[in-house]
Amino acid sequence: MGCLLLLLLLFVRTIDGGASASCLSSQASILLSIKENLHLSYGRLSSWGGNESDCCLWEGVECDPHTGHIIGLELPGKATIDNSDIAGSRIPPALFDLHQLQHLDLSGCDFNMSTIPSQLAQLSHLTHLNLSWAWFSGKVPDEISSLSNLVALDLSYTTGLLEIQDLVGFVKNFKQLKYLHMDYVRFNLSNLQEWGANLALALPNLRSLSLAFCDLEGILTPHIFKLPHLQALDLSNNNFHGELMPLFFPPESKLQSLHLQGNDLSGHLPNEIFRLPLLKVLDVGYNELLRVSLPTKLPMSRLEILNLGGIEFLGDLLRVWIVNLTSLVELELSNTNLSGSLPFSIANLADLTHLDLSQTRLSGCIDTLLLQKASVIVTFWKKLDSRH
């Protein structure tokens, strides 16, 4: 009898687990109100209020399968000749009535330089918020910092129109945050020496941090680089100065992508950076005071993209270390003092699709084997000859 009851309970749970709730009528009404307050083109959101009555099946909508409440709204705008195929004077107020929303993506929409509404803080269940390329302006409301469940936040690419007064204070409640992208956002950093340490302390779970083109300045400190879970770091095109130290790059680092180009870094590029076991992208180009003195024996590397353009090489080392960078897809060495003959070993880089040797003193021939790869784009200084 007990076994029969257990089987019956398992059967009921299986049936219940397989059922999927339809969209609630109240939720459908909210979506239609949102649509009424947007300017749409190219058929966007045509399914909303169309032949399909279940709004869980409408474009960009995700529902909780048990309750029917909307938990995801993925509405990325697409660029058109005029602006975007989803536009509006502001985020429609009805959106803030989707109280169970967890994922919100309005990237690429055109909100006409309006401010980010503080009412977003009412969506307390949000874990993913993407407002990149959405043409907001002004101060990012402090209320957003109350969204303590955020795992991913992207406010990037508003071309300097957004401002956050206190970056560390803004993110202090985001203990679960893994992805923070704020390229082009302006910050007022009160402590230029400690901001990195304070940010690392506030966001211990970061996987990806992107703060490019933010007019940041000061000396880089090791704290950001040594976050235990960090996989991608982009601090490019700011005003950071000082040296990159070997202790920035512990051997247990999980870094896969590092962008530091366009700063004012100086000193020697640490060889330890080439020994990071997972690093695939390294871009430190156009730091004019940075020097590269690579060891004659580099370990076999996973690097796929390497940009050392615009920095000074100490010694003729190209032919020595290039042979171990067998995974390279893109190699940027333009505007460097490299000289001598071009090593034929470059032709052995089987995956190479982009090679920039422009504005160097290299001489000789571009190997026939390299040029025979139709996918390879080669940019070279006019003194180089092409052997076809």
Residue 264 confidence (pLDDT) above 90: yes
Per-residue pLDDT band at 177 (split at 50, 70, 90)? very high
- Domain-located, residue 151: no
- Domain-located, residue 295: yes
Tens-place pLDDT, residues 43-80: 999 999 988 889 999 999 999 999 999 999 999 999 87
Instruction: In whole angstroms, give the CA distance from residue 284 to residue 294.
Output: 14
CATH of the domain at 352: 3.80.10.10
pLDDT reported for residue 325: 83
pLDDT reported for residue 287: 96
- Domain-located, residue 224: no
What are 316's two structure tokens? Answer: 């003729």
pLDDT reported for residue 258: 98
CA 369 to each of CA 86, 325, 339: distance values in angstroms, whole numbers, following the listed order: 48, 18, 21
- Domain-located, residue 339: yes
- Domain-located, residue 34: no
Residue 163 confidence (pLDDT) above 80: yes
Residue 275, domain extent: 236-388
323 vs 66 pLDDT, higher one: 66
The pTM is what?
0.89
Domain count, the chain: 1
Backbone angles phi, psi at 309, to 5 degrees: -65, 145
- Domain-located, residue 45: no
Instruction: In whole angstroms, give the CA distance from residue 26 to residue 45.
Output: 18
Tens-place pLDDT, residues 95-107: 999 999 999 999 9
Tens-place pLDDT, residues 220-229: 889 999 999 9
- Domain-located, residue 351: yes
- Domain-located, residue 316: yes
Per-residue pLDDT band at 387 (split at 50, 70, 90)? very low
pLDDT reported for residue 9: 39
User: Region 190-213: what's the mean pLDDT?
Assistant: 88
pLDDT reported for residue 349: 82
